[in-house]
Every structure is written in C-alpha cells, then in structure tokens.
Chains A and B, each alone.
Chain A
Amino acid sequence: MKQKIGQQGEVAIMKIAALPTDIETKSVERSKSGAFIISHSESGHHHVIPDGEVMERTSDVPAGMRILYAILDNPSSLRQEADHAHENFDLESGVYEFRISREYDPFAEQARIVAD
C-alpha cells in the first residue's frame, strides 16, 4: 500500500504499509533544534520532523532525488523551520515515505558545451 497524502513545498508525502525490504539507508542529519531534516535548505529553512525514526534511502534512488522514510510510533508533523513557513502537515502514527522533488537545468550542459 502506498498512498500519496499530500505535499509540503518540495516534499511529497506518502503513507506506506511498511518499510521496503532490500534497500540501503543512512542516518539523517538533524537541524539546530534537534529535528530530523527531511529536506535541507541552504538558508536554514529546513523541512523537519521532530521525532520518530528517520532514515534516507541510498539505493535505487533516481538521479538528483532524495527519498526518506519515517517510522512514527506517535502522531507527529512535518514542519518547516522558517518565519514565513509552509503550514505544518500533521502525520498520524505509521510509516511514511518522503520524496524530495528534483529540478533539471535544461541549459547548464548546453551552455557548458557552447562555452568549451
């Protein structure tokens, strides 16, 4: 079961039945407040989850993307650490997949070739 339940900025939120098997993961950086960083921002406006067990998938991830999982024993929320933040996205207890959307620069490679 995988159900897309919402999106907060660049973070697509899916509720899933269980953590996928046969994947490799790594631990996730925490923000100054101690929350798990789901999506990193250079300006410090991270999207975070304050608690639970959070990990980042490192195998079979499309280029330029990040996929993270959270196991929440208790209800929590996805928040943005910013003054003018996205609204909090409440999460029931359960297992979640977060897909951080990616961007493509259609001109960078063309420009590099022209410049060369």
Chain B
Amino acid sequence: MGRIIRTKSKAEGGITTAEKARMDKHADLWISRALRTEPIEPGKIVPAIEGIYAAANLKNPRVIIVPSPLVMAFAYGASAAILHTGKKSKTYAATRAATYAATGAATRAATDAATDAATYAATRAATGASIACYDMAGELGLACARRWWDNMQGGNMWAGYDGYLTACRDILGLELSCHNAYAHWEQAAIHGGFRVMHEDFCIVSDFPEFIHMDAENRPHCEDGPSHRWRDGWSLYHWHGVKVPGEWIENRETIDPAEILKTENVEERAAGAAIIGWPRMLDVLKSKTIDKDENPDHGELIELTLPGLDRPGRFLKAECPRNGIIVEGVPYESDIDGSPINTVLAAQAWRVGETPKSFEFPPVRT
C-alpha cells in the first residue's frame, strides 16, 4: 500500500482502518437499500427521475410507476414496438402504450390480489400486462418485452455500484463536478426499483414486498418464492440459483426425470436438492462405498449427476420419522482432514466429530 492521499479530486494509497470501518457501515446501508421491501413512494421517486432528465437537459417525463418488473417489461415492450414502427405521433402513442399496459395490469393485479391467491394474481398481472402490450403493439410488442433488459436500469437492484460511488464521495472525500448530476441518480437508486427510460416517459418498478435469503444471504426459500412483488409476480431461488416456481411449489410431485432434462447444470443440481436425494436415487447412477449392518447408521453411496465429472458422496440412512434420508457429505473431513470413506466417518462429520471420538447414539426418536 502506498502513501495515502486524500484531496477533493484524488484518493490514492488504499484505505485507513477508520475508513474501512465507515465503509462497512456504508455497505450495510446500501445492502439494506437493495433489499428494500417498503412500497415505493411517488413523492420521492418522481423528483429523482425528473432530476435525472434535467441533468440531461430533457424536459420532465411522464413517470409511470408499475407494481413489478414484469409489468414494466410489457409496458416497455409495447412502447418500444410503437416507437419502432415510425408512425406519426409515435411518441404520444408510445407513452400512451406504456401507461395503458402498466395501469391496466396494475389495476387487474390489485383487484385480484385482494381476492385471490398470490399465484393467481401473478398470472393475472402477467396476463393483463401482456394482453395490453399485444393490444397496443402486436407481436412486435411482445418480442420487445422479452428484450426488456436491453434498455433497463437497475435502480436499487444496482446498489453495489452506487455504494462504491458514494463511498468515494462520502468517506474518501472526493468532490467531483459530476456529483451534482449523480445525486439524482443516487436518489433514484434509493427510491425506485428497475426502470426503463425514454425521452418522454420513464417506467419505474415498485420494490418487492418480501425477499427471503439463506444464511449466506443468497436468495432462497424452501416452500415459496424468494421474491414477491405486490401484484403477486414472484421469483424462486434455491441457495442463490434461480429455479422454476413449480419446482418449489410442487416439489412433492415433480418427476425427478424432469429435473435431469434441464440444460443448465447449476439449475439441475439445485433441482435435485429441492426434490430431495431420496427421490433422485431412482434416476441417478449409484455406487455403494460402505454399508453398516444397522440401517439407522446407513450406507455411504456415490451418486453421479449428469454434466458433472465427480460423483457426490451421500449418507443414506433410516430416520424414525422421515423414512429414508439421503444427505451429502464431503470427501474429506474439515475436523481432522481424514477421508470420508466409511459410514462412521460420514456420521462423525455430520456432527462435527472425528471418527475416533464419534459414537452412534444409543436411542433415536
């Protein structure tokens, strides 16, 4: 690390301990913004968006707030397609399309959300927005909607970069000429979700109503969506891997063979874990490494997942309540570095013991 330099236009030489402590708190602040679940506040997002346009010397746009990124995508699709067709007064039509697609879907979603299950509301929101998109812009509108990410900005979902930029300003003391204009972008990152921007209008998504995560802060939920927006539109994740909703919602009945058909190997591995290794035994190649006479103690097996080179090791045993359990173990114990080649070693690893110190429990309930 070189000599620490701090001026209004330069920050070099690494960071001090005090700056590191402030940056940790600053990171926490932006993480909390990225995970915001309180509803969007028009009184705060609209001025932020108008500020961005003003910084670009553009007139105030019509700011359309939508309940979810899905509705935003269809509203964007309709407006993009109309702009592309080159009709007269196309800007007006595009603005109208964006508004109609957004408000139509939002109204239907709000009505349905009040009376129906969340998944149904999600379907209706998607249907409402997609129908509005098709009504206004036909097949091209739907095609544009599918490419919504070509023209989107992340809002609070891009908090990582805004955390970095503001740390340089607020902690390292940079005062740059671009900071005045950036302040509006920062406000939009605090007060809005995903957005798409056009010269005459800007579509901004609300925040999710909940986000569930695992102990490592990856999006995750075992029995429902990891994210859900207020119109019911949802995303599903398994320890950070995005998976189809039906794998979680219908995990008891999904055919294990369906999981293996998935092209993405990361998704395939997540799917296998979701429906459970006992059910995957029927479709995966299995090899016994060690077997104890007592079924409570179990059998150490290797399973091969198509697409991955190395088999995984699993302990297969009987549980008094749950029947056959199949749980993964590593090849080597982190307790004493010994290989896990036996049932005893696998059982010891599960409870953080060495094979030498481990004893099987005399009673299991």
Which of B222, B312, B319, B334 interacts with A63 by CB under 8 Å?
B334
B82 to chain A, nearest CB (A): 37
The stretch that binds B, out of A7-15, A22-30, A48-56, is A7-15
B333 to chain A, nearest CB (A): 9
In the complex, the answer to whether A8 meets B365 with C-beta atoms within 8 Å is: yes
The stretch that binds B, out of A31-39, A68-76, A100-108, is A100-108
Check A5/B266 contact, CB under 8 A, given A99-B352, A110-B308. no
* Chain B residue at minimal CB-CB distance from A7: B361
Chain A residue numbers with a CB within 8 Å of B305 are: 107, 111
- Could you tell me the dominant secondary structure of chain B's interface residues? loop
Check A43/B362 contact, CB under 8 A, given A105-B269, A106-B314. no
Q: What are the interface flags for B306-323 relative to A under an 8 Å C-beta threshold, 1 for contact and 0 otherwise? A: 011111111000011110
Check A85/B266 contact, CB under 8 A, given A8-B364, A105-B328. no
Is A88 located at the chain interface by the 8 A CB criterion? yes
Chain B residue numbers with a CB within 8 Å of A104 are: 327-330
- Could you tell me how many residues of chain B have their Cβ less than 8 Å away from some Cβ of chain A? 42
In the complex, the answer to whether B361 meets A13 with C-beta atoms within 8 Å is: yes
A104 to chain B, nearest CB (A): 4
Docked CA distance A42–B364 (Å): 22
Which of B270, B312, B363 interacts with A7 by CB under 8 Å?
B363
Docked CA distance A114–B330 (Å): 19
Is B174 located at the chain interface by the 8 A CB criterion? no
Docked CA distance A86–B307 (Å): 38
Chain B residue numbers with a CB within 8 Å of A80 are: 321
Docked CA distance A13–B335 (Å): 19
* Chain A residue at minimal CB-CB distance from B358: A4
Q: What are the interface flags for B236-249 relative to A under an 8 Å C-beta threshold, 1 for contact and 0 otherwise? A: 00010000000000
In the complex, the answer to whether A111 meets B361 with C-beta atoms within 8 Å is: no
Chain A residue numbers with a CB within 8 Å of B310 are: 106, 110
Is B290 located at the chain interface by the 8 A CB criterion? no
Tell me the total A-B contact number using a CB cutoff of 8 A.
109
Docked CA distance A115–B359 (Å): 40
Chain A residue numbers with a CB within 8 Å of B311 are: 106
Check A7/B266 contact, CB under 8 A, given A42-B222, A86-B320, A114-B307. no
In the complex, the answer to whether A5 meets B361 with C-beta atoms within 8 Å is: yes
Docked CA distance A110–B365 (Å): 35
Is B350 located at the chain interface by the 8 A CB criterion? yes
Is A65 located at the chain interface by the 8 A CB criterion? yes
In the complex, the answer to whether B352 meets A108 with C-beta atoms within 8 Å is: no
In the complex, the answer to whether B365 meets A108 with C-beta atoms within 8 Å is: no
Docked CA distance A65–B329 (Å): 13
Docked CA distance A3–B151 (Å): 63
In the complex, the answer to whether A111 meets B308 with C-beta atoms within 8 Å is: yes
B19 to chain A, nearest CB (A): 28
In the complex, the answer to whether B265 meets A9 with C-beta atoms within 8 Å is: no
A45 to chain B, nearest CB (A): 10
In the complex, the answer to whether B364 meets A7 with C-beta atoms within 8 Å is: yes
Which of B222, B321, B330 interacts with A43 by CB under 8 Å?
B222
Check A65/B361 contact, CB under 8 A, given A103-B328, A111-B266, A111-B268. no
Chain B residue numbers with a CB within 8 Å of A89 are: 363, 365
Docked CA distance A73–B141 (Å): 70
Docked CA distance A84–B322 (Å): 10
Check A115/B265 contact, CB under 8 A, given A7-B361, A8-B365, A12-B351. yes
B212 to chain A, nearest CB (A): 9
B57 to chain A, nearest CB (A): 42
Chain B residue numbers with a CB within 8 Å of A110 are: 269, 308-310
Docked CA distance A7–B351 (Å): 11
Chain B residue numbers with a CB within 8 Å of A105 are: 239, 269, 273, 312, 328
Q: What are the interface flags for A77-105 relative to B under an 8 Å C-beta threshold, 1 for contact and 0 otherwise? A: 00010001111110000000001011111
Q: A104-B329, A114-B265 are in contact. List 11 more A-B contacts (CB 8 A).
A: A6-B361, A6-B362, A7-B361, A7-B364, A43-B222, A61-B352, A102-B350, A102-B352, A103-B328, A106-B330, A108-B270
The list of the 8 closest CB pairs from A to B, nearest first, reads: A106-B312, A111-B269, A62-B352, A115-B266, A87-B365, A6-B363, A7-B361, A107-B269
A-B residue pairs in contact (CB < 8 Å), sample of 5: A87-B320, A106-B310, A110-B310, A114-B265, A114-B308
